[in-house]
Amino acid sequence: MGIYLNPGNRGFWQSIRSEIYVDKTGLIAYTNKYINTEQKFICVSRPRRFGKSMALKMLAAYYSQGCDSRDLFRGCRLESVPTFDEHLNQYDVILLNMQQFLIEAKPGQITDYLEQEVFNDLRKEYKKILQNQDMRLAAALRQIYADTGKQFIFLIDEWDCVMRERQESESLQKQYLDFLRNLLKDQDYVALAYMTGILPVKKYGQHSALNMFWEYSMINQGVFEEYTGFTEGEVRVLCERFNMDFALASRWYDGYMLNNFQHIYNPKSVVEAMLRQNFSNYWTSTETYDALKIYMDMDFDGLRADIIRMLSGEQVKVNTLSFRNDMRNFETKDDVLTLLIHLGYLAYNLQKEEAFIPNKEIAREFESAISVGGWSEVMRVLKASDQLLEDTLRGDAQCVAAGLDRAHTEIASILTYNDENSLGCAIGLAFYSARKDYRMIREMPSGHGFADIVFLPLPSSGKPALVVELKYDRTADSAIRQIKNRQYTQALEDYTGEILLVGVNYDKNRTDKPHSCVIERWKK
């Protein structure tokens, strides 16, 4: 057992001994499938603390020669997979954490340092073959394969740290990419290469050194969706085991919508919440909000408006194709939003090609970022939202209309305010604080149409439900009539409490009081 060559199974052993271990061994069924195929180069990118390193420890434990990991996988999902025995502890594994080499190497010498370290490890095992100590790493691996026929599985963690932490050094990035290409591409000694990082690999300027990799990112995780985070079923089991409220866990940590798995949870935060017996900001607390604010404050046309729309609960269209997969070269707001998807600050709806803020934990991070300079008008709207909700629950339609007028005035310079969609955005932002006690649902199917906005109270809140209908250049009374005529309250047929019907109209021709409101109490 070496440092980099066949590092053993201790890392995975520690994982399964932890108080919370969620079985993700099914991932290995896919990597087994791709060994020695055209799909053997895999790059899985996810946000920080989403279980990437743990997955590599699991893969190392399964594939590494020199250890017996059968007992570690006993009772796991992988044990029932037909290829379980075929590949168990059958390969020379090289496990590399690129962050370690970046930190330890002298400036500009990361690849030289890596080659020397790994070569020294190889030589302990293959001293008779590697008698020439001046061999480069790729040449040494070719010689081992030529003499023994042995293939290697490469597991590379933090593959993109050079791109993230040496953003200004294009020459170092190109050198690093050339090194990886020479090490892996068209080499017979490679049985499988599995890389993880935060960013995908394909578009660093004109350089496409790693075009042999199949990418699985937060834009499209493909077959690895189930292993991106915790699934809804896995979180339900944990909430039952630790006696935690599943509905609250969903509001705090759900929201990463993938193609087949519509509910993926942040694993770091779920584990912390279960063990600490408290829902709070755990994933976002591992990095300051300044990291988010840098990108929010970038001066691209429409970026601030899109962020406001997402804060209000909307989804926004994003073109992810122009993103160059780095953290420095941005040309449009779509590039910034795409980066925020890869970093985990936004979720992505692949079918609609839309981004949104996934959950309460991330929303609070956006709040922290906008509270410091440049977003004062938005902060005033958010701070006033407590009073607006109070006025609504009291049925004070006049005060609600006045509150919406103030909110409109605050954000008019950022948000184009000329149709019902923009009205919905402004109201979603004005009622921002309602999300402490409510689940806000836009365009909720009900009766003979869709209710514009429904605020469904959490079971512990004790508050009435709200059905909100929006009109533009009509009347608030007509909004109330539409709620009744189209039977929008049917959306709440399983809800037994009181319901408030809220009709809102915006009259663009009135400059003094453009909003009007009618509130009625409705009992089933």
Q: Are strands 347-349 and 354-356 parallel, antiparallel or unpaired?
A: antiparallel
Give the pLDDT confidence score for residue 316 in this predicted structure: 94
Domains, the chain, in order of start with CATH, read 10-217 (3.40.50.300), 218-374 (no CATH), 376-522 (3.40.1350)
Beta strands in 234-297 (DSSP E): 264-265
What's the pTM value of the predicted model, to 2 decimals? 0.93
Give the pLDDT confidence score for residue 393 in this predicted structure: 95
Alpha-carbon Rg for the chain, nearest whole angstrom, is 27
What's the rounded Cα separation, in Å, for the pair 270 and 280? 10
Give the pLDDT confidence score for residue 208 in this predicted structure: 63
Q: Could you tell me the CA-to-CA distances from 337 to 148, 304, 315 in Å, in that order? A: 49, 11, 12
Per-residue tens of pLDDT for the chain, all 524 residues: 789 999 999 999 999 999 999 999 999 999 999 999 999 999 999 999 999 999 999 999 999 999 999 999 999 999 999 999 999 999 999 999 999 999 999 998 999 999 999 999 999 999 999 988 788 999 999 999 999 999 999 999 999 999 899 988 888 988 999 999 999 999 999 999 999 999 998 655 555 678 899 999 999 999 999 999 999 999 999 999 999 999 999 999 999 999 999 999 999 999 999 999 999 999 987 665 677 888 998 878 889 989 999 999 999 999 999 888 888 888 999 999 999 999 999 999 999 999 999 999 999 999 988 888 778 888 999 999 999 999 999 999 999 999 998 888 888 767 765 555 677 788 888 999 898 899 888 888 876 778 888 999 987 788 999 999 998 889 999 999 999 999 888 878 778 888 999 999 988 888 778 899 999 998 76
Residue spans of alpha helices (H) in 254-332? 267-276, 290-296, 303-311
What's the rounded Cα separation, in Å, for the pair 358 and 349? 11
Rounded to the nearest 5°, which phi and psi values hold at 481?
-60, -40
Give the pLDDT confidence score for residue 492 in this predicted structure: 82
Q: Residue 516: count other Cβ atoms within 10 Å of its Cβ.
A: 23
Give the pLDDT confidence score for residue 420 in this predicted structure: 59
Give the pLDDT confidence score for residue 421 in this predicted structure: 65
Q: Residue 145: count other Cβ atoms within 10 Å of its Cβ.
A: 17
Given a contact cutoff of 8 angstroms between Cβ atoms, the answer to whether 357 and 311 are in contact is yes
What's the rounded Cα separation, in Å, for the pair 72 and 503? 60
What's the token pair of residue 320? 């992810």
